[in-house]
Structure 1
Amino acid sequence: MFRTAVFSCALTLLAMAASGCMTRYESCGPEGPSPAGLTSSDLVGSWRGDPRGHLELRAAGAATLTDWPADATPFGDLAPDERPGLSNGTWSLTPGMEQGRLRLDLDFLDDPAAPEGGGTVLTYDVSGTRAHPVLYMYTSDPDRCEFHTLRR
């Protein structure tokens, strides 16, 4: 009985390894750990987007967006004249879903340009170094490694 149980467990583990279920996830693009010791004050300033966009983060928690790409918002499927013109909001640096990860939350819920009945919250993961942080968000399926990236 014991021998059968051990054999079954070994066979299951072998099948999982062969199918890729136990392989290590490989990161791509700007993915990586958040910089150790990073604080909100490290993020204050101007950020340039790739492929486009400009983000200004102010010390008081205000945020301003200009020339923002549609694929970096929940409105990418809308025609350009139907997309809300997000511009003014707030920002905060918060813990990410994984231990040791940080994320930047951009809140446009009170923006007058936000759609009627509610606004938008955009979330960017933080990687890079404390001196040169990188903000990024997936713009499609994570397996495709397509990002909107912001750098100083």
Structure 2
Amino acid sequence: MFKKTSAGAATGVVGALGVAVAGIVAACCAILVCCAGAWVLLGPVNYFGCGAERPDGIAEADLVGTYEAQDGAHLELQADGSLVATALVTEFMGESLNLSGPGEWSLQSAGGSQGDIRLRLTSDGKPRSHGTSLDISGTREQPWLYWYEGDPDVCHLYRFNKIA
């Protein structure tokens, strides 16, 4: 009878342990399903940035040159603070704007909330002007410029690579 009790007690402990493990596994699966569901509904959330950091010590002289976006848009930043934009399309208050033509640019203080480079451009060659900003990444020797398309947490960047 002692052996039967010991076996029964051992079976009871193993059974309780098995139930506890099964509960933990079920809880972990539920958490994974909830996280996956939230990701599908809300999109990915970026807690670590997009890997696009302003280079330390970058100056206006480092930024002078010609930049090209994948869609063929061009920005030419001049040393005197002037610029020429070609086929730069952006959206402002639900309206698509073709920002081609002359404008001005200026480097903003590091750590500001309004972007690294401030742009003032004409819209479709009309006298009204449009302001926007770009951020800087890359290196001082090979900077690239960008702005976010949509939610910054998703990291869709409209990127300009320096070509000259």
Indicate the TM-score class for this superposition, using the shorter chain for normalisation: 0.5 to 0.7
Structure 1 residue 59 corresponds to structure 2 residue 69 = no
- Counterpart of 1:25, as a letter, is Y
The higher-RCO structure (CA 8 Å, 6+ apart) is 1
**Structure-2 change in CA distance of 1:84 and 1:110 (3 Å):** closer
More strand by share: 2
Matched residue count: 118
State how 1:40-59 maps to structure 2 within 5 Å: 40-59=60-79
Assess if the C-alpha contact under 8 Å between 1:40 and 1:93 holds in 2.
yes
Q: Which runs of 5+ in 2 are unaligned?
A: 1-45
Assess if the C-alpha contact under 8 Å between 1:104 and 1:125 holds in 2.
yes
Question: How many Å apart are 1:32 and its aligned residue?
Answer: 2.6
State how 1:126-141 maps to structure 2 within 5 Å: 126-141=136-151
Q: Which runs of 5+ in 1 are unaligned?
A: 1-23
**Structure-2 change in CA distance of 1:113 and 1:85 (3 Å):** farther
1:124 equivalent among 134, 138, 158 = 134
Higher alpha-carbon Rg? 2
User: Taking every aligned residue pair, what percent have the same amino acid on both sides?
Assistant: 29
2:105 equivalent among 91, 114, 120 = 91
2:154 equivalent among 138, 144, 147 = 144
Residue of structure 2 equivalent to 1:107: 120
Q: List structure 1 segments (4+ residues) > 6 angstroms apart after TM superposition.
A: none
SS of the aligned residue for 2:133 comes to strand
SS of the aligned residue for 1:51 comes to coil
| TM-score, L = length of structure 1 | 0.64
